[in-house]
Amino acid sequence: NPWKPVLPLLSPPAFSTTCARCAKDRRLRAKRAISERQLTRYFVDQRKVRVVGGQGGGGGHSFYSEPRKIFGGPDGGNGGDGGHVIFKADQQMKSLSSVFPFYQGFHGGRGGSKNCYGANGAHVYVKVPLGTLVKEDGKVVADLTQHGEEYVAAYGGAGGKGNRFFLSNENRAPTFFTPGEPGQERVLHLELKTTAHAGLVGFPNAGKSSLLRAISRAKPAVAAYPFTTLNPHVGIVHYQDYEQVAVADIPGLIKGAHENRGLGMAFLKHIERCRFLLYVVDLSVPQPWIQLQDLKYELEAYEKGLSERPCVVIGNKVDLAQSRINLPLLREQVAERVIALSALTGDNLEELLLHLRELYDTYVKTERSRGQSPVKW
């Protein structure tokens, strides 16, 4: 028949829907490239957390009934208690970056028939580093210093009562029951007492981030403009006897930082939590010792005695010609030990690492002589 319609040829499907092995397109997708900026992990030493305890389960409402025993009486069980939110100190945790802004405990189960109680809600444990301060309305409510130490941040609500609870001689068939109570709700501030063993202190573009990259595996952002570092980064310096010294790259300070100028007083708190300080000075600028004087003035204006902590002066960018001229002038003006190095080329990094270990050993001996345990990483 010439008028017979011609059916279009159907192309085979791209993948089979009948074969179990070929049911899905198994081609692997290429991972999206992540920039170095996105890979950067910075240190978090304070968090605002809202915690809510789990709600208690409602009481049960039922009456017992079986053959030849119609009026068996009430048998509704009580509801389960809600779960708590608990902060637990863990020595494996070093930062608050893994702490979420909101936690809630699990709700309790509802009471059932035959006097069955509801299941209690599971507790939610939040791991925090050692030395975490828990504050509420500016007051310290907990100080977690020992491994495994716990603090109940929010209590779960009590479970409701079933109608079996209200059975009495006056009321042989109670029909009412109570709902579960809501969990406790609080807003807490978590704060670390210790940021790191050593803190790199200096003005913007002094080379602190480059120095931290050179002595550890930390990857803070490095660029030729001021205030490249906006959050503190912590790098770990490893030694042959398996000791680890934590060095923090503090964002750059400027004149008037104690008056909340520049990045403000928020980052002076990071310096306050370091055990000893490493002043990083740019040797290529005229009169580099003035930088050291200004830095010490800002620290002393923020907290009296902060500039008197054990320290060493690091003269960075010694690979430049002007730095070699300013180096002997800096040593004449400064009473502290001056270590000249280049974070870019790696010159004289060994002297810094050896002196850093001396400062760490002195800190450990001092803490043990006081009967306190030093902070270990």
Sequential pLDDT tens for the chain (377 residues): 555 455 454 445 444 444 545 444 444 444 444 443 444 455 677 889 999 999 999 888 888 877 777 777 888 889 999 999 999 998 888 788 889 999 999 999 988 888 888 889 999 999 998 888 899 998 989 988 888 899 999 999 999 998 888 888 888 778 888 898 999 999 999 988 776 788 888 887 778 888 888 888 766 656 554 455 556 778 888 888 888 888 888 776 666 544 545 455 556 777 777 888 888 888 888 888 888 888 888 888 877 888 888 888 988 888 888 888 888 888 888 888 888 888 888 888 888 889 999 999 998 898 889 888 777 77
- Residue 48 in tokens: 């605002």
| CA atoms of 222 and 207, how far apart (whole Å) | 9
Whole-number pLDDT of residue 221:
57
Q: How many CA atoms lie within 13 A of 199 on its CB side?
A: 28
| CA atoms of 164 and 178, how far apart (whole Å) | 11
Whole-number pLDDT of residue 103:
94
CATH code for residues 43-193: 2.70.210.12
Whole-number pLDDT of residue 16:
43
Closest CA to 76 of 218, 216, 146, 175: 175
> Do 182 and 55 contact (CB within 8 A), yes or no?
yes
Whole-number pLDDT of residue 35:
42
pTM above 0.85? no
Whole-number pLDDT of residue 27:
43
> Do 96 and 152 contact (CB within 8 A), yes or no?
no
- The domain locations on the chain are 43-193, 198-370
> Do 155 and 186 contact (CB within 8 A), yes or no?
no
Whole-number pLDDT of residue 234:
80
| CA atoms of 241 and 366, how far apart (whole Å) | 20
Whole-number pLDDT of residue 106:
93
Whole-number pLDDT of residue 10:
47
- Bridge partner residues of 281 (DSSP): 315
- 198-370: CATH class: alpha beta
